[in-house]
Every structure is written in structure tokens, then in C-alpha cells.
Amino acid sequence: MKKDIYELANKAHQLNMIRCELFEEGKENIIKNNIKNNNLIENLFDTYLDITTIPKGEKTYLELCKYYEKLDKEAADFYYNCYLETLDKKDVKIKQKTRLP
């Protein structure tokens, strides 16, 4: 039983590492090509919000937030707030939540 749980956890970890790579590739494509399509950017945020608890996923998410902030500050703040909520930083004041690091 423990072995099965370990194997399942290992497979989930491997899948998340692949997802981090795909997320980074998507982010790099957007930034490198100066893509300004809100729907494309927001789809990327929505798809990968759950991996922001992984350092590589978090780094990529925040880099995309900084890029998006230049295009649409209000939308970037929304996605930054989603990130904070995912990390359960509920003690952060509202005014602080709307500023990217």
C-alpha cells in the first residue's frame, strides 16, 4: 500500500515538472514574441495557477504577471491576487495584494 502511494506521488510530481516546463515555454513564447492577446495570456494563467506552489511554477507565474502588468494592470493584479490566495496569504492587506513584487 505504501509503495503504491509513493509511486502515485512520484508520478504526480513528474507530471507537475512537465507542466512547469510547458508553462515556462508558453510564458517565454508570449514574452519573446511580445504577444498582447489577453485571452491567450489569461488562459495560460488559468491553466497553471495550481503549480504556483512549486518554485519553478511560482517563478514563471510571477514573471508572466510582471509582463502582463505592462499590458493590463487591472487584469495582472487580479491574477496576482489569485496567486496570493492559492498560497493562502489571506493576512495580506487588500492594498498590498494589488501590487506585484
Q: What are the tens digits of pLDDT across the range 29-58?
A: 999 999 999 999 999 999 999 999 899 999
The whole-angstrom separation of Cα 41 and Cα 10 is 30
- Give CA separation, 18 vs 24, 28, 49, 79, in Å: 10, 15, 14, 22
**Which residues of the chain register pLDDT less than 50?**
90-96
Distance of CA 35 to the CA centre of its chain: 17
Instruction: Specify whether the CB–CB gap between 62 and 100 falls below 8 A.
Output: yes
* pLDDT value of position 3: 86
pLDDT of residue 89: 54
pTM: 0.82
